[in-house]
Amino acid sequence: MDAISAQTNDVYRQAFKRFNRFMLMLWRLGFRRWINSWPSVGGRIMVITHIGRKSGLRRQTPVNYASVDGDIYCTAGFGPVSDWYRNILVNPNVEVWLPDDWWAGLAEDISDDERRVSLLRDVLIASGFAGPMFGINPHTMNEQELAAATKEYRLIRIQLAQRMSGPGGPGDLAWIWIPISLALALVVLLPKFVRRDTSK
């Protein structure tokens, strides 16, 4: 990768990090189905919970994904420098927040799989605008073109192992809408009661 490409790649990485923080907050606030309501544009998005290889802390990263034959596939589009990818190489035990479910699973780099290009095409189609934004059109590229354009991409398979439930999962901050709704109701209704009392 030349210096200009590396610099551009780093700009994209930093932009996606900021965007991912926003996307993760939407998930925690309970908007996961809304986020996935227009997959042809916004893509199919899940959240991977992984363990920091140095910190040992839980980290969460939204990524695009495709479901194929019961397994979940995603890609590290920025290649092996992606932090979440490097984390799962050290500790492959992950959790995934899907639009309608929450699972524990085992992640594995299968970038050398003979079906790599076909599976990457599925993931990139499920990525909505993200592929074309990087100059990759999975709908029109042939096998050779797609393989060349994604040679740095890492392909990850996540085998779902156990359905999860309880606190700490997707929508863990959705409760905040109750006090917000009550506060808004007070703002709307309280002036009416005040005006009614003063008119007596």
pLDDT range class, residue 71, cuts 50, 70, 90: very high
Is there a domain that residue 198 lies in?
no
- The CATH number for 29's domain is 2.30.110.10
pLDDT number for residue 2 = 46
pLDDT number for residue 180 = 64
At residue 104, does pLDDT exceed 80?
yes
Is there a domain that residue 148 lies in?
yes
Is there a domain that residue 130 lies in?
yes
Is there a domain that residue 189 lies in?
no
Spatial distance between the Cα atoms of 199 and 141, rounded to a whole number of angstroms: 72
Range of the domain at 144: 3-171
Note every long-range contact of 78-87, with CB atoms under 8 Å and residues 24 or more positions apart, other chains counting.
78/9, 78/12, 78/13, 78/152, 79/152, 79/153, 79/154, 80/152, 80/154, 81/13, 82/154, 83/59, 84/48, 84/50, 84/59, 85/109, 85/154, 85/156, 86/53, 87/50, 87/51, 87/52, 87/53, 87/59
- Domain total in the chain: 1
Is there a domain that residue 186 lies in?
no
pLDDT range class, residue 4, cuts 50, 70, 90: very low
pLDDT range class, residue 3, cuts 50, 70, 90: very low
Is there a domain that residue 187 lies in?
no
Is there a domain that residue 97 lies in?
yes
Is there a domain that residue 123 lies in?
yes
